[in-house]
Amino acid sequence: MKMLLPSTHYVDIWLDQIDAQTMVRQTHAARYKNLLYTLKEPKELMRLTPLEWPEHLNNVASLHSAVYFSSHSFAALWHDAVHIKPDVLEYYMVDDQSQSIVQSLIEAVVQQHVLIYIHNSETHTISLQKLFALNAMCQKVTIIVAPHAQATILDDRVWNQTHAIESVEIVLQNNARLTWLNNADQTNLNNFVARTQCVLEEQAYLSYGNASKPARYSYHEWYVDLKGAQSAVEHSGMYVLTDDQNYTLRTYQHHNGRDTKSTVAVKGLLHANAYFDYSGMITIAKTASGTIAHQENKNMLFSSLAVARSEPSLQVLTNDVQCSHGSATGYFDPEQILYAQTRGIELKEIYSMLTKAFCSDMIALFDTTHQDDFYKFVQESVLEKK
């Protein structure tokens, strides 16, 4: 399809119209005014006046190797969006090929679609809370990491609605590397439905760490397609449920390329009437010889009323593979607790030490500050209620 780029004159007229409509329909003019931050080169920012920089952009001023397309940028930058990275916009944001790119971008605004394109290695951790400061609750987030680029993204958003639905798409191109750390706080939500879809091309690597604080009722589908040869993914998940929280997790490890590797390990702490439902599937296609895949789920119960259901499964369609899966649910060993008590250690301290030992490998990707925050959350939500 030939790119339908609007002329500069047309874009300027259209921006004026959008600006006028925005002022009438929205109390926050920035609602429809934000499609692109071009942070590739510092000099590209120099042409903007401080008034054109939203306050939260200062928090990510060090991000010089990504292009951030959002439904909340400034109208003056829409023109850049259709000229600087038209190929990226067309491929990932144009759903209807009969539309011009401007029409598609209008729809992206309405749907709150955010696209982050990382084209060079980024040494600084990208915070989604800071990046999406005007509106952290986006319906769709797409992350593309270009060939040979590397980045770390921290999802540290605090959700404040009652209900939320989100779709996250992660695309790692050849030899790209991404560390995704999910430390989002969803405790204010009553219902949260999410789908994360990851596609890994040749020799791409994804490290996915999840230590988020779930909503009252959560449903999460996590899907990875190891499309390229020698691609690899490691997923480490840790959840804490208490009171009447209900969390459903589905993971899918789909191997298509040869010599691919995947590991999914999920652990949970359940207290009171909490309920956890896990189902995992490893699928190895006929083309995926040399695959190494592992999946496990372990749950620790702090109440006789808590329930954890776990169902790992395999579907292998080729030879020359190594696959394993497992599940375990139970309580801390009473003999270990008794042994520690005979050494004069208080019961609360015993549970704290055992809990840290149980969780430590799942949150090892996070820095010390986030680990301390997680243990504090465990202490307040589970151990102090024990």
**Mean of the per-residue pLDDT values for the chain?**
75
Cβ within 8 Å of residue 274, ≥6 positions away: 241, 242, 243, 244, 245, 246, 247, 303, 306, 307
SS3 content of the chain, % helix, strand, coil (to 5): 25, 35, 35
Q: Residues with Cβ < 8 Å from 276, sequence gap 6 or more?
A: 239, 241, 247, 248, 249, 268, 270, 299, 307, 308, 309
Residue 110: C-alpha distances to residues 71, 139, 143, 183 (Å): 8, 10, 19, 27
Torsion sign over Cα 345, 351, 356, 361? positive
Q: How far is CA 268 from CA 118, 126, 193, 250, 272, in A?
A: 33, 27, 19, 14, 13
Q: How far, in Å, CA of 30 to CA of 18, rounded?
A: 11
Nearest of 107, 94, 179, 110 to residue 143 by alpha carbon: 179
Three-class secondary structure of residue 373 per DSSP: helix
Nearest to 294 by CA among 323, 335, 333, 337: 323
Rounded Cα distance, 276 and 299, in Å: 9
Residue 39 has a pLDDT of: 30
DSSP 3-state of 34 = coil
pLDDT tens string 66-109? 445 443 333 333 444 444 455 665 555 555 455 554 455 545 54
- Res 71: pLDDT: 37
Q: What is the pLDDT of residues 342-378, one digit of tens each?
A: 999 999 899 999 999 999 988 888 888 888 888 888 8
Of the candidate ranges 31-45, 189-203, 316-330, the one whose mean pLDDT is the lowest: 31-45
Starting from the edge strand earliest in sequence, which strands make up the sheet with 275-284, in order? 36-38, 66-69, 113-118, 140-145, 163-172, 191-200, 217-226, 246-255, 275-284, 307-316
Question: Cβ(204)–Cβ(226) under 8 Å?
Answer: no
Closest alpha carbon to 315 in 280, 288, 283: 283
Distance CA(368)–CA(370), nearest Å, equals 6
Which runs of consecutive H residues, i.e. helices, occur in the chain? Answer: 8-25, 42-46, 78-81, 86-93, 101-111, 128-131, 334-342, 347-359, 368-381
Number of H helices, E strands in the chain: 9, 18
66-69 and 232-241 beta bridge pairing:
unpaired
The DSSP letter of residue 229 is: T
For 251-307, how does the pLDDT look when each residue is reduced to its tens digit (9 = 90+)? 999 999 999 999 999 999 999 999 999 999 999 999 999 999 999 999 999 999 999
Distance CA 381, CA 386 (A): 9
What is the pTM assigned to this prediction?
A: 0.77
Percentage of residues in the chain with pLDDT exceeding 90?
Answer: 47
Tokens of 5: 């780029």
CB 287 within 8 A of CB 321: no
Q: Which of 239, 211, 154, 192 is nearest to 373 (CA)?
A: 211
